Structure formats: C-alpha cells, structure tokens
C-alpha cells in the first residue's frame, strides 16, 4: 500500500503535468487587439465565415453551409443589382454604446463591375468602408466580410467595425440579412453585437457608376 507521502508526491506530479498541458494550450492562442481568437479560427478566415443568425431569421437561410466549390468569390448575385433601403435592428450586444432593440436606417447599392461581378456599397453617415469580400452561392444567397471606420463628428477615439453578413433574397424586391459585428476603439476590441436586417428595393438601376 502506498504511503501518504508517496500519494502526495504523485498527486503533485500529476497536477504539474496538467498545468503544463493547459499552459501549452493557452500559448497556442493568439491575442489580437484585446480579443483572443483560437488558431483554427484564424486559419479559417480565408474561407467565408459562418454567421450567427437570430431566431427572427430562421428558415430564411440555407441550413447546409455551402462547400468551397459552390461559392462564387468576390461577387453578390446578379439579381441584387440596384439601390436598396435597409433597416437594421440590433438583437443582442456586449458593446456599451450599442443597445439591443436599436434600429439603424441606411442605403445599400449593389452595382455591376466591368468584369461582370456585383459589388456592394453601404451608405451610412459617418462610416467609411475600406474592405468588402463577398461570396455568392445558390441563386439568391451571399456572404460578406466588411471592415468600416467611423469618421463622424464628436467621435471619441478611432472607431472600427468588422461585420460578417449573410444575405438571402426572399422576393424580387426583398432581401433578409443577419450579421454579427466586432467593434474596436483605438485598435482595442470592445465587444460584439448581432443584427437582423430587411432590405427593400428602391431601384433596379444602381446609382453608382460601373467600375
């Protein structure tokens, strides 16, 4: 029978091994702008993100995520072309300056490029879009990954937002969207909020000149 001293020694060795494993696992995570993202998440950023949808959007989007072979990169569906009025509602938030239930009205233009793709321009006061990567799949669905910066008056600090969006055209003049947005101030991650949006077509002829 093992003595108490031997049991204690073995227990300490086992605990040390467990702590070493935990520390090595933690070291494999990368800290970026105040937020911790696992390596596998960063490795998958080259692929379209899987947005989190709220209950309000259930049944609108495909239940099965598209494979890489089904994606049309750097374009939205051709049927999206035109000007759209967009009303967005925040469904939940961990950002102190963004409240659940808050609504935002803006306009979105989907315009054709000279090489046959369809790009998007979001028109929201104070916000300037710097990056927008889109993927379309099926006949009427798309995903996008957008980065925008805020240059409005009376802003305190440098504001930036990264939005992952999923779209589904539910009618000839209606698009439903679901998004989650990571908010940054002065390069530091401050939280995430989720939204659902309804886009109503204003015109089939986009006001932005072809590019």
What is the rounded distance in angstroms from the CA atom of residue 28 to the CA atom of residue 100? 34
Dump pLDDT digits (tens) for 18-68: 333 333 333 333 222 333 333 333 334 334 333 333 334 344 555 546 555
Per-residue model confidence as pLDDT tens digits over 125-176:
888 888 889 999 988 999 999 999 988 666 677 899 999 999 999 999 999 9
The model's pTM? 0.66
Place of tokens 């054709």: 112
Q: Are 198 and 176 in contact (CB under 8 A)?
A: yes
Rounded to an integer, what distance in angstroms lies between the CA atom of residue 59 and that of residue 189? Answer: 32
CATH of region 72-203: 2.40.128
Strand partners, 128: 149
Spans of all domains in the chain? 1-47, 72-203
């Amino acid at each position: 029978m093992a003595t108490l001293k031997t049991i204690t020694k073995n227990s300490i060795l086992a605990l040390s091994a467990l702590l070493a494993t935990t520390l090595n696992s933690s070291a494999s995570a990368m800290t970026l702008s105040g937020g911790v993202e696992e390596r596998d998440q960063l490795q998958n950023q080259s692929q379209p993100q899987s947005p989190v949808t709220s209950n309000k959007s259930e049944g609108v989007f495909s239940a099965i995520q598209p494979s890489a072979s089904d994606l049309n990169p750097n374009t939205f569906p051709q049927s999206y072309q035109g000007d759209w009025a967009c009303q967005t509602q925040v469904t939940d938030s961990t950002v102190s300056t963004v409240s659940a239930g808050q609504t935002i009205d803006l306009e979105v233009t989907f315009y054709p490029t000279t090489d046959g793709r369809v790009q998007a321009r979001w028109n929201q006061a104070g916000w300037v879009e710097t990056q927008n990567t889109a993927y379309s799949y099926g006949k009427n669905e798309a995903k996008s990954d957008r980065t925008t910066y805020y240059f409005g008056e009376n802003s305190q600090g440098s504001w930036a937002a990264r939005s992952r969006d999923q779209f589904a055209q539910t009618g000839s003049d209606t698009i439903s969207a679901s998004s989650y947005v990571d908010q940054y101030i002065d390069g530091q991650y401050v939280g995430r909020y989720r939204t659902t949006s309804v886009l109503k077509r204003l015109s089939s002829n986009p006001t932005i000149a072809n590019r």
